[in-house]
Copies of this chain bind each other. A is one copy, B any other.
Amino acid sequence: MTAPLRRVTQRDIARMAGVSQATVSLVLNNRTDADVRIAPETRDRVLRVIAETGYAADPVARRLASRFNRIIGVFTYEPAFPSGSRDFFHPFLLGIEEYAERVGCDLLLFTSAPVVDGRRRIFHQDNRLRLADGCILLGREIDGAELQRLNGDGYPYVAVGRRDDAGGPVPYVGADYAAAVARLVEAALRHGHRRLTYVGMGMTAESSQDRRQGFGAAAATAESARQVSAAPGAADATLDDLLADGSTAAFVEDFATAVALEAAARRRGLTVPGDLSIVTLGDPTVPVPTDIVFTGFRIPREEMGRQSVEVLTGVIDGSAGGLQQRLLPCELVEGSTLGTPDPAVDRP
């Protein structure tokens, strides 16, 4: 083991080439402004020494001196790994990674952010946000107070998924849930469904609100359009509720709940979609094994990742005018769980 030799610096290069440190920096950055002139021989000499030594500028010092780092931060607003939802977030990361590579940025995952009260916190004692030029926020729910603080600090960021204003507009790249749900509702109406039920997970997350709003708007002409809440574990109770209401189509926010509901229906001898149509409203957030292809839609996760980087770079260099909020369309999935309801019969 040799002693950790000191890093080669611009000073060393300068000494070797017989110039000043400033000249090395100018050559390195290929500055050719009108008021910065380097003789070709000098430039070559410096470049030769750089090549010989294999010198590379220290990015940390560079960042301190100038303004940017070419680093994009990624903050995952979910409890620690390993968690069931990690597969759900992976495609976002792939898109982010792909676009970051294209624009020549490195990606900093803020794995060091501590978990307090079951969720990650951006702001804490030893906040490291500034390592990156800007940050992408991932997660089902994002604390509005933290968004507000980011806005206040003028820190460049983009949320993946639409977010309500928080002390100003929040830049985001989201999925157009409202439109996707509306199209599914319309499809159900065309199939002859008249009593629809939205089976949701909660009310707070923007992604839930958007789905509910799309449902409510599109189902306005139906005979009945209710919204209830349910969890995967309560599938039987949910099924009872649907049957009691006479609903023929369930729009289920959570994929796992849809799977459980279908299984419960089958156990009772009901057919899907004959006795009950089940529509899912997005990809599984936790892994659920099933052989059935549910009718529903797909969230353009990779594309959202890509575009979030695109928007972020715009926010960082200030070139993003009003284009800081985007909603991407979701692709509908033609599954086997939405169909024409059987003529009403007395059900047990």
Contact A81 B94 (CB under 8 A): yes
- Once bound together, how far apart are the Cα atoms of A59 and B73, in whole Å? 13
A56 vs B54: C-alpha distance in the bound complex, in angstroms? 35
Number of interface residues of A (CB under 8 A): 46
Taking the complex as formed, is A240 at the interface, i.e. its CB lies under 8 A from any CB of chain B? no
How many monomers of this chain does the complex have?
A: 2
What is the chain B residue whose CB lies nearest that of A155? B4
Q: Which residues of B contact A336 (CB under 8 A)?
A: none
Q: Which of A61, A70, A106, A108 has the most CB of B within 10 A?
A: A106
Q: Is the CB of A59 within 8 A of B131?
A: yes
Residues of B within 8 A of A106 (CB): 108-112, 128, 131
Within the complex, what minimum Cβ distance (angstroms) separates A202 from chain B? 26
Residues of chain B lying within 8 A (CB to CB) of residue A110: 106
CB-CB under 8 A for A80 and B58, given A7-B130, A109-B106, A154-B2: no
A58 — which chain B residues lie within 8 A by C-beta?
A: 64, 130
- Considering residues A60, A61, A90, A130, which has the most beta carbons from chain B within 10 angstroms of its beta carbon? A60
20 contacts between A and B (CB under 8 A): A5-B154, A7-B130, A56-B123, A56-B127, A56-B129, A60-B63, A61-B64, A64-B64, A81-B98, A81-B101, A97-B109, A97-B111, A101-B111, A105-B111, A105-B112, A106-B110, A106-B128, A106-B131, A107-B111, A109-B109
